[in-house]
DNA sequence: ATGAAAGCGCTAACAG
DNA sequence: CTGTTAGCGCTTTCAT
């Protein structure tokens, strides 16, 4: 940690440090209240409140006087006080496992944009995939009077979490998760994408396919496994359950899993892996001298900007994370503003296989 | 937008839709107040408040009674009311140009983690690089009673922004920006990284180098330009100012710039580009049949997980965005809790050249 | 060790 | 159209 302090230098010419060591302290402007604005404009609080909220007619002349007073004094209404009084906030909570993780950050970005457009702000919290943190955060949310909550909780079959979610005093919407409760959700159709991918590999002649994806505790993990099984079953092909595995979000975990998977014979001739894990697989393959796609075919769940610049260009299952966020925000907003019908809204967005260069036909062995 | 509604089904057996269309409405639990807890425990509000805040001694027996009442009723203190009363919030604002942008999201992730550890939450806002939005957001922040603000404002030489920043009623810290005001900041030493990169290229014999980076309105852009010039000057080599250009954060903008740069003779024999723009350059080079590193050397500002998996593996200037966020959060926290000395704290973190395979010696032409 | 009362800054009846 | 008044849920003197 390279810290280089830097003295302000302004008063550095004075011979001795004066008594007040605080002379450099930036004096923070005190907050101006509605009361002072009222006095300055020669009206009552109510009138000021009215011009702020445009809730009632105010004589134009007076309104301008108040506006001027607000500008003069640099008045900005205290959102905290407003929220307390109105008993509502314009803040939405957003809980994800990891903010820095690209899939989440692009979703979060879209959510923020959508919320902001509707006059809401967003508070983001990361669970770091810890159940404990998740509970902590959820209970914290209860106290925050959020207008709503958008979340991709870690596992969707956790009773304690589900209970907390149901008890929230505001609407919530799930991202890529499904729980046994009447709650809105926006999911990607990971089943269909994984099905296409598996079938493609099977068609190419692969008979030993590995699957690295989320655990069964999250919808995408379950759906991909289901698609994987179904595609195999449809052709009467058996698969090795040991080749199905679910890593966390950490980077090198996938590397180790892939290394393990690829270093025992017989090894998979093809692997399908989550976006991040794919990088681990590529690295493991390189370490082991396994060439893609000749010795190993690879499909990534999730497209990226650079996927076509890798060598070979990555074949992927593609969907739109931004769209997931945007739609989730829209639905939540409609729920908050009670524009939505009572039934839970469940949206499923498509995913598709994008064939590039990381898969090759498998010579029968 | 594929919306598939789904009826709740529970009451679907009833012959006629009953009068209450709202029967499926999830009844949101009403908020429990401190008053009810007090009544339930047979004590006064004050006592309950005391056990919440552990601010005064309460007889253990009574304390347990209150605790039980809180648990029974599912009481969670109203943070809004607490904030209003205490005149402080435990929320920090965070403003960046784009949340989905990897460099920012990893910083944001680290900030959130650090803040959460100290009991703070974070509100993120994106400016989308719009000056107007920036002003809007900044003024919104004033009203939010944030405990502090962490921001990477769009341009650091904008008087209106600087003025707003100074007038904030809470401490702020800048990320990779420097403004003429006594304000804390955490920056990466982009100068040194860019200097190493330029010198490396020059050493390899390149005499026509292009630079694609942020505008001069942001510190990194200025520092990289300065390093670029200095390295050239030190060797008495001239450079073409038209080959220095600053794109926005959008993806294909860089592609167009690079395409332009590379399609006129004489064209650069080497390009240094920001992280995202690098992808655009690679794509442009591919479109034009220019091979890297043989026909064009390439250095990226900013490392990524996949940089070594590209072909060729990307030579980059590397620094640590997470560290920037963590340190910024720490400093802000120390400022908020008034543990910091009065002088502005300016931290500069190192950057370094990581040589991989995307640069080659240039045959003299 | 506990309680009563006075607000934090603002909005929403309710009168004029 | 404008002002007076009563809180929102909580913390904090100040008494007891």
Q: Which residue of B has its CA nearest to A284?
A: B309
d(CA A4, CA A77): 38
% of chain B residues with pLDDT over 70: 91
Q: A58 CA to D2 C1', in Å?
A: 8
* Pairing of β B346-349 and β A121-126: unpaired
Q: Does some domain include residue A126?
A: yes
Query: Domain of B55: which CATH number?
Result: 1.10.260.40
- Among candidate residues A10, A45, A77, the one where a domain is terminated: A77
Average pLDDT over residues B317-326: 98
Q: Which residue of A has its CA nearest to B325?
A: A100
Q: Do residues A153 and A200 both lie within one domain? A: no
Contact A336, A171 (CB under 8 A): yes
- What pLDDT shows up at residue A19? 33
pLDDT of residue A8: 32
DSSP string, B196-261: HHHHHHHHTT---EEEE---TTSHHHHHHHHHHHHHHHHTT----GGGEE---S-HHHHHHHHHHH
Q: Is pLDDT above 90 for B2?
A: no
Residue B311 pLDDT: 85
Distance measured from the CA of protein residue A95 to the C1' of nucleotide D3, in angstroms: 45
Residue whose C-alpha is closest to residue A205's, from A180, A175, A237: A237
Q: What DSSP string runs through A117-130?
A: HTT-EEEEEE-TT-
Query: A345: nearest CA in chain B?
Result: B5
Q: What is the mean pLDDT of residues B158-171?
A: 90
- For A68-88, what is the mean pLDDT? 94
Whether residues B50 and B135 fall in one domain: no
Q: Does the beta-carbon distance from B309 to A283 stay under 8 Å?
A: yes
A43 vs B275, higher pLDDT? A43
Same-domain pairing of B198 and B181: no
pLDDT band at B13 (very low <50, low <70, confident <90, very high): very low
| B9 within a domain of the structure (yes/no) | no
For residues A110 and A160, state if they share a domain: yes
Over chain A, what is the mean pLDDT?
88
Give yes or no for a contact between B107 and B101, defined as CB atoms under 8 angstroms apart.
no
Q: Which of A148-152, A241-245, B264-268 has the highest mean pLDDT?
A: A148-152
Can the peptide bond before residue A48 be classed as cis, meaning omega within 30 degrees of 0? no
Question: What residue ranges in A80-145 does DSSP mark as E strands?
Answer: 91-96, 121-126
Contact partners, residue B144, CB within 8 Å, separation at least 6: A79, A80, A121, B89, B91, B93, B123
What is the pTM for the complete model shown?
A: 0.90
**Residue range A330-343, pLDDT digits in tens:** 999 999 998 888 89
Q: Give the confidence band of B26 by pLDDT, cuts at 50, 70, 90.
A: low
Measured between alpha carbons, how far is B284 from B258 in angstroms, rounded to an integer? 6
CA A358 to the chain's CA centroid: 28
Read off the pLDDT of each residue in B70-82 and give the average, rounded to a whole number.
94
Q: How many Å lie between the alpha carbon of B242 and the closest alpha carbon of chain A? A: 27
For tokens 């994370």, the residue is A321
Type and span of the H or E element at A196: helix A190-203
Angle, helix B45-53 to helix B60-73, in steps of 10 degrees: 90
Q: Does B22 map to a domain? A: no
Q: Are residues B64 and B183 in the same domain?
A: no
- Whether the per-residue pLDDT at A151 is higher than 90: the answer is yes
Q: In this structure, what token pair is assigned to residue A166? A: 């149901």
Q: Is residue A90 part of a domain?
A: yes
User: Residues B231, B205: one domain?
Assistant: yes
Least confident stretch, A156-165, B5-14, B73-82, B124-133 = B5-14
Q: Is A108 on the interface with B (CB under 8 A)?
A: yes
pLDDT tens-digit series, residues A281-318: 999 999 999 999 999 999 999 999 899 999 899 999 99
**Residue B190 contacts residue B223 (beta carbons within 8 Å):** yes
pLDDT at residue A92, rounded to an integer: 98
Which residues have C-beta within 8 Å of that of residue A6, sequence separation ≥ 6?
A: B343, B344, B346
Q: Is the pLDDT of residue A169 over 60?
A: yes
A15/chain B closest Cα distance in angstroms: 18
The pLDDT confidence band at residue B28, using thresholds 50, 70 and 90, is: confident
Q: Do residues B41 and B65 make contact, with C-beta atoms less than 8 angstroms apart?
A: yes
Q: Is the CB of B56 under 7 A from strand C?
A: yes
* Contact positions of strand C to protein Cβ (< 7 A): 1-5, 7-13
CB A209 within 8 A of CB A180: no
- Comparing every residue's Cα with the C1' atom of nucleotide C1, the nearest one is B58
Res A1: pLDDT: 34
d(CA A177, CA A280): 25
Domain boundary among B318, B341, B357: B318
What's the mean per-residue pLDDT of chain B?
88
- The pLDDT value recorded for residue A174 is 96
CATH code assigned at A100: 3.40.50.2300
B126, B182, B306 member nearest A8 (Cβ) = B182
Domain stop point among B20, B49, B77: B77
Same domain, B111 and B223: no
How many Cβ atoms from other residues are within 10 Å of residue B128's Cβ?
18
Here the tokens at position B208 are: 């026509």
Bridge partners, B175 (sequence order): B186
- Output the CA–CA distances (angstroms, integers) from residue B225 to A292, B216, B228, B232, in the order listed: 40, 8, 5, 11
Residue among B4, B144, B169 minimizing CB distance to A347: B4
What integer pLDDT is reported at residue A129 of this predicted model? Answer: 86
User: Which tops the pLDDT comparison, A14 or B193?
Assistant: B193
CB-side neighbour CA atoms (13 Å) of A346: 15
Q: What is the number of other CB atoms lying within 10 angstroms of the CB of residue B44?
A: 12
Give a yes or no: residue B344 inside a domain: yes
Q: What is the pLDDT of residue B129?
A: 86
Residue A21: the pLDDT is 33
Q: Which residues of A132-160 are buried (b: 16+ CB within 10 A; e: fewer)?
A: ebbeebbebbbbbbbbbbbbbbbbbebee
CB B272 within 8 A of CB B211: yes
Statement: residue B34 has pLDDT above 80? yes
Give the residue from B288, B235, B241, B297 showing the smallest Cα distance to B269. B297
Using DSSP, state whether A187 is helix, strand or coil.
strand
Is residue B283 left, alpha or beta, with left meaning phi > 0 and alpha meaning psi from -120 to 50?
Answer: alpha
C9 C1' to A138 CA distance, Å: 28
The phi and psi torsions of B337 (rounded to 5 degrees) equal -90, 10
- Residue B138 pLDDT greater than 60, yes or no: yes
Helix (H, G, I), strand (E, B) or coil at A172: strand
Closest chain A residue to B28, measured at CA? A169
Kindly state the average pLDDT of the residues A329-358: 95
C-alpha span between A190 and A280 (Å, rounded): 21
C-alpha–C-alpha distance, residues B360 and A200, integer Å:
39
Q: Which of A6, A79, A98 sits opposite B144 (nearest CB)?
A: A79
Q: Is the pLDDT of residue A13 over 60?
A: no
The pLDDT of residue B167:
86
HSE-CB of A11 using CA atoms within 13 angstroms: 11
> Each residue of A55-69: pLDDT tens digit?
888 899 999 999 999
Strand D nucleotides within a 7 Å radius of protein CB atoms: 1-5, 7-13
Binned at pLDDT 50, 70 and 90, residue B333 comes out as very high
Helices A275-287 and A251-262 cross at an angle (nearest 10°) of 50
pLDDT tens figures, A92-118: 999 999 999 999 999 999 999 999 999
CA at B37, C1' at C3: how many angstroms apart?
Answer: 15
Q: Within this chain, do residues A103 and A47 fall inside the same structural domain, yes or no?
A: no
In terms of domains, do A161 and A200 share one? no
Please give the distance of CA B242 from its chain centroid, rounded to a whole number: 30
User: Coil, helix or strand for A323?
Assistant: helix
Same domain, B109 and B217: no
- Residue A157 belongs to some domain of the structure: yes
Distance CA B81, CA B71 (A): 20
pLDDT above 60 for B22: no
Interface residues, strand D, Cβ cutoff 7 Å: A 43-47, 50, 56-59, 61-63, 81, 84-85, 87; B 31, 33-35, 45-46, 49-50, 52-53, 55, 77-78, 81-82, 84-86
Task: Find, among B1, B74, B68, B89, the residue nearest to B33 by Cα.
Answer: B74
The pLDDT confidence band at residue B4, using thresholds 50, 70 and 90, is very low
Residues A112 and A142 in one domain: yes
Residue A299 inside a domain? The answer is yes
Q: What is the pLDDT of residue A255?
A: 86
CA gap A328, A334 in Å, rounded: 10
Contacts 24+ apart (CB under 8 A), B46-54: B52/B77
Contact predicate A104/A152, CB 8 Å: yes
- CA angle at residue B183 from B143 to B103, to 5 degrees? 85
pLDDT tens digits along B184-237: 999 999 999 999 999 999 999 999 999 999 888 899 999 999 999 999 999 999
Q: Are residues B327 and B183 in the same domain?
A: yes
Q: Do residues B227 and B302 touch, judged by C-beta distance below 8 A?
A: no
Contacts of A111 (CB under 8 A, 6+ apart): A92, A94, A122, A150, A325, A326, A328, A329
Domain total in chain A:
3
Q: Look up the domain containing A221 and give its range.
A: 190-318
Q: Does B236 reside within a domain? A: yes
Residue nearest to nucleotide D5 (CA to C1'): A46
């Amino acid at each position: 940690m390279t810290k280089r302090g830097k003295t302000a230098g302004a008063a550095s010419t004075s011979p001795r440090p004066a008594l007040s060591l605080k002379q450099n302290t930036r004096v923070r402007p005190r907050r101006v209240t509605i009361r002072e604005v009222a006095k300055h404009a020669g009206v009552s609080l109510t009138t000021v409140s009215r011009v702020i909220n445009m809730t009632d007619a105010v004589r134009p002349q007076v309104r301008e006087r108040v506006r001027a007073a607000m500008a003069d004094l640099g008045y900005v209404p205290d959102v905290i006080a407003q929220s307390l009084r109105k008993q509502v906030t314009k803040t939405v909570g957003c809980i994800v496992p990891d903010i820095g993780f690209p899939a989440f950050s692009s979703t979060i970005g879209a959510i923020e944009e959508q919320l902001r457009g509707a006059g809401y702000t967003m508070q983001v919290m990361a669970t770091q995939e810890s159940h404990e943190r998740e509970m902590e955060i959820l209970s914290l949310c209860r106290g925050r009077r959020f207008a709503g909550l958008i979340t991709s909780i870690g596992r969707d079959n956790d009773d304690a979490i589900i209970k907390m979610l149901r008890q929230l005093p505001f609407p919530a919407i799930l991202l890529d998760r499904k729980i046994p409760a009447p709650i809105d959700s926006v999911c990607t159709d990971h089943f269909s994408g994984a099905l296409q991918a598996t079938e493609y590999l099977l068609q190419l002649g692969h008979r030993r396919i590995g699957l690295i994806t989320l655990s069964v505790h999250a919808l995408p993990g379950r759906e991909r496994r289901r698609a994987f099984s179904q595609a195999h079953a449809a052709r009467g092909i058996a698969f090795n359950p040991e080749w199905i595995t679910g890593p966390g979000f950490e980077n090198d975990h996938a590397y180790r899993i892939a290394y393990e998977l690829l270093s025992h014979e017989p090894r998979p001739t093809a692997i399908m892996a989550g976006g991040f894990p794919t990088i681990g697989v590529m690295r493991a393959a390189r370490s082991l001298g396994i060439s893609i796609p000749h010795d190993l075919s690879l499909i990534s769940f999730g497209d990226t900007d650079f996927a076509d610049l890798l060598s070979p260009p990555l074949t992927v299952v593609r969907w739109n994370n931004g769209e997931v966020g945007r739609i989730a925000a829209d639905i939540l907003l409609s729920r908050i503003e009670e524009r939505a019908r009572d039934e839970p809204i469940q949206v499923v967005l498509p995913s598709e296989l994008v064939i590039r260069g990381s898969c090759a036909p498998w010579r029968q062995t």
